[in-house]
Amino acid sequence: MKQRIYITRKISNEIVEWLKQFVDVKMWMEEETPVPRAILQKEIREVDGLYCLLTEQVDRELINQANNLKVISNMAVGYNNIDIEYAAKKGIAVTNTPGVLTETTADLTFSLLMATARRLGEAEQFLREGKWTTWSPMLLTGQDIYGTTLGIIGLGRIGEAVARRAKGFGMKIIYYNRNRKPNVERELNLTYYPFEELLKTADYICILTPFTDETKNLIDEREFKLMKPNTILINTSRGGIVNEEALYKALSKNQIWGAGLDVFDEEPISADHPLLSLKNVVVTPHIGSASIQTRMRMAKLAAENLISVLQKKQCSFIVN
Ligand code: GLV
């Protein structure tokens, strides 16, 4: 008898067909709505593999419902939605999809940086609302990118890819990471700065670190106070790394100049959230890796990871 898996969202037919060669597949058939928790709790009971997204909280309670589970394959590089230690205790492998989304997420990070610096959201709204009456010397003026300093917090794969883009834009690049990376420093001409020094120095700060207990509220009131009035903060990692209340205060008091955000404490962020009332914020709905090609690569890699673990083959993307 074939092993069984559950997929928590409707994914492409091509990948489902590929999976069906190896396993019996059951899938939540909605594309835009996450599987309700009660259904997931029921479906997880007998399956050998779970193919899930970052919208599912795979916590201790859910893992305890599973009787046969051997692998949880997350279609994302981040896995803060999964209790990986508890899964390990239960002998369940957790896998993710790094690498395939690096360049695409770096593209979005840099897009947000540019959009915030040059006020693209505001400018488009201004034009669409019929407010454009004449060319005007100081109309919608923003910040320069060329010649400024980018501070990268978290120099992993995506951090390095952002640094390569920044280099092409003539920026000076500084970084903070738990471990220094001398080879990358040499290759990309990066300078390591202690955390607080980076906050005081950078014109642009990109958050590219994973979300862990250690990075929760890493950027809070104290950190905003260290930043410069022209600082632009970009977060394409996870919302919880930046304290949103402190961010709102810093932006509304013009303690910093602007923010570009792809991720939020609570997703989806509600349309009446105070942050969305601010003009100096550019927002996107967690689309860092959202190119057609990359989302297909992620979906395929998540499928391959799941099958590798079930077939007891070598899998390089087990995180626990
Ligand atoms: C998306 O946020 C991911 O972690 O892949």
- The CATH number given to whatever domain includes residue 139 is 3.40.50.720
**In this structure, is residue 315 part of a structural domain?**
no
**In this structure, is residue 229 part of a structural domain?**
yes
**In this structure, is residue 317 part of a structural domain?**
no
DSSP E strands in 132-268: the ranges are: 149-153, 172-176, 190-192, 204-207, 232-235, 258-261
- Minimal-distance CA residue to ligand 1 atom 3: 76
**In this structure, is residue 209 part of a structural domain?**
yes
Q: Which two tokens stand for residue 183?
A: 């080879």
CB atoms within 10 A of CB 117: 22
**In this structure, is residue 14 part of a structural domain?**
yes
Tell whether 85 and 118 lie within a shared domain: no
Tell whether 119 and 196 lie within a shared domain: yes
How far apart (Å, rounded) are the C-alpha atoms in residues 16 and 299? 10
Tell whether 12 and 85 lie within a shared domain: yes
**In this structure, is residue 91 part of a structural domain?**
yes
Contacts of 54 (CB under 8 A, 6+ apart): 74, 75, 76, 78, 81
For residue 101, give the ligand 1 atom closest to its CA.
5
Tell whether 172 and 242 lie within a shared domain: yes
Is residue 288 within 6 Å of ligand 1 at its C-beta? yes
* pLDDT at residue 286, as a whole number: 98
Tell whether 161 and 40 lie within a shared domain: no
Tell whether 106 and 124 lie within a shared domain: yes
Q: Provide Rg for the chain, Cα atoms.
A: 21
* pLDDT at residue 293, as a whole number: 98
* pLDDT at residue 235, as a whole number: 98
298: CA distance to ligand 1 center in Å? 10
Q: Which two tokens stand for residue 238?
A: 């996870």
* pLDDT at residue 199, as a whole number: 98
How far apart (Å, rounded) are the C-alpha atoms in residues 2 and 146? 57
Tell whether 54 and 70 lie within a shared domain: yes
Give the domain extent around 60: 3-100+292-310
Tell whether 90 and 206 lie within a shared domain: no
80: CA distance to ligand 1 center in Å? 10
CB atoms within 10 A of CB 156: 17
* pLDDT at residue 156, as a whole number: 98
* pLDDT at residue 71, as a whole number: 98
Q: What's the DSSP call for residue 274?
A: G
For residue 250, give the nearest of 265, 262, 232, 270 by alpha carbon: 232
CA dihedral 144, 147, 153, 157 (to 10 degrees): 100
* pLDDT at residue 188, as a whole number: 96
* pLDDT at residue 230, as a whole number: 98
Tell whether 230 and 134 lie within a shared domain: yes
The count of structural domains within the chain is 2
Tell whether 88 and 185 lie within a shared domain: no
Is residue 98 within 6 Å of ligand 1 at its C-beta? no
- Minimal-distance CA residue to ligand 1 atom 4: 78
Contacts of 95 (CB under 8 A, 6+ apart): 71, 72, 73, 74, 302, 305, 306, 309, 315, 317, 318, 319
**In this structure, is residue 7 part of a structural domain?**
yes
**Catalytic annotation, residues:** 238, 267, 286
pTM of the shown model: 0.97
**In this structure, is residue 198 part of a structural domain?**
yes
* pLDDT at residue 5, as a whole number: 98
The low-confidence residues of the chain, meaning pLDDT below 50, are none
Tell whether 122 and 178 lie within a shared domain: yes
For residue 286, give the ligand 1 atom closest to its CA.
2
Tell whether 61 and 106 lie within a shared domain: no
How crowded is the C-beta side of 99, counted as CA atoms within 13 Å?
10
Is residue 7 within 6 Å of ligand 1 at its C-beta? no
236: CA distance to ligand 1 center in Å? 9
* pLDDT at residue 56, as a whole number: 98
How far apart (Å, rounded) are the C-alpha atoms in residues 30 and 15? 16
How far apart (Å, rounded) are the C-alpha atoms in residues 187 and 180? 13
Is residue 76 within 6 Å of ligand 1 at its C-beta? yes
Is residue 289 within 6 Å of ligand 1 at its C-beta? yes
Is residue 310 within 6 Å of ligand 1 at its C-beta? no
* pLDDT at residue 63, as a whole number: 98
